[in-house]
Structure 1
Amino acid sequence: MTSSDSFPDLMARVMTEAAHFGHREHVHLSWLAVHLHGTPTAIRVVSEGIRRTARYVGAPQKYHATVSRAWIECVGHHVHERPTDDFATFLSRNPALLDKRLLLRFYRSATLAGEVARRRWTRPDLAPFPWQRAAPGTCR
């Protein structure tokens, strides 16, 4: 990882086109990190960066370990399925990623609302992610 690929630099790239950090920006950040580093490293870089940022702004409760990792894994699945160097193209191919409720296809709401899932990675308890199934699928 070069210094220009650090979490602050990735955030700066995402925020050049955004007024605030919302869901679309989280997907963009995940896409950039996966595109540059691969999914396993992206999980670490983005999760640690979001956790540090939440602490810095005095809102550590905003960080959710399971939600952060699940989104990065879902984005990573699509990045590897149909690579592109253009985020707009990526979104046009994978519009379901803009649905904030997408993770509820895989997790019960009570699971995601629980303290355990907030603090540490929790596997899906409603349905496995497509890349966890024996048959190929998509996160749609």
Structure 2
Amino acid sequence: MSHDNFDALMAEVMTQADQFGHRQHIHLAWLAVRRYGTPAAITLVSEGIQRTARYAGAPHKFHASVSRAWVELVGYHAVDDTGDDFTAFVDRYPQLLDKRLLTHHYRSSTLATAAARTGWVEPDLLPLPAHRR
């Protein structure tokens, strides 16, 4: 994957937004998962957001575990979803738009650790749903 792949996805997401918020993060993850599969999307989204945050002078805004967990959750729901409309996707899975969803999976103290901010930390409350094959 290249920076160009991320930049193209980001441009597509931002055509309908003024700022990059949670909905745009989910949209970005959805596009990446649909085009490249969940494992590649994790890398593409994580590296792209980290690079963007660094470029914006806000590297502290990137959180590795949070970014990956959202891509995993989107990937779980997208694997059997053949639709090509993001709005219809989030209408079917509205829980993905709830920023508090990760509190079902992680203690806040776990996500506050340096290990979780800089790398992958498994959920400590409830495992993320397993991908269906």
TM-score (normalised: structure 2)? 0.94
Structure 2 counterpart of 1:44, one-letter code = T
Q: Distance in 1 between matches of 2:57 and 2:17?
A: 22
Q: Distance in 2 between matches of 1:114 and 1:3?
A: 28
1:91-110: CA deviation from partner (whole Å, max 9, x where unpaired): 11000000001001000010
Q: Aligned residue for 1:76?
A: 75
Q: Distance in 2 between matches of 1:2 and 1:94?
A: 29
Structure 1 counterpart of 2:87, one-letter code = A
Q: Distance in 2 between matches of 1:31 and 1:24?
A: 10
Please say if residues 3 and 48 of structure 2, whose CA atoms lie closer than 8 Å, have aligned partners that are also in contact: no
Q: Aligned residue for 1:106?
A: 105
Indicate whether 1:50 and 2:52 are aligned: no
Q: Aligned residue for 1:96?
A: 95
Q: Aligned residue for 1:121?
A: 120
CA 1:106/1:3 → structure 2, altered by over 3 Å: closer, same or farther? closer
CA 1:2/1:118 → structure 2, altered by over 3 Å: closer, same or farther? closer
Segments ≥4 residues shifted beyond 4 Å: 1-4
1:10-38: CA deviation from partner (whole Å, max 9, x where unpaired): 00000000010000000000000001000
Please say if residues 26 and 74 of structure 2, whose CA atoms lie closer than 8 Å, have aligned partners that are also in contact: yes
* Stretches of structure 2 lacking an aligned partner (at least 5 in a row): none
Structure 2 counterpart of 1:112, one-letter code = L
Please say if residues 29 and 45 of structure 2, whose CA atoms lie closer than 8 Å, have aligned partners that are also in contact: yes
* Stretches of structure 1 lacking an aligned partner (at least 5 in a row): none
Q: Distance in 1 between matches of 2:100 and 2:80?
A: 22
TM-score (normalised: structure 1)? 0.89
CA 1:3/1:121 → structure 2, altered by over 3 Å: closer, same or farther? closer
Q: CA deviation at 1:2?
A: 8.8
* Greater relative contact order structure (CA < 8 Å, 6+ sep): 2
Q: Aligned residue for 2:7?
A: 8
Please say if residues 106 and 123 of structure 2, whose CA atoms lie closer than 8 Å, have aligned partners that are also in contact: yes
- Tell which deviates more after alignment, 96-105 or 76-85: 76-85
Q: CA deviation at 1:83?
A: 2.6
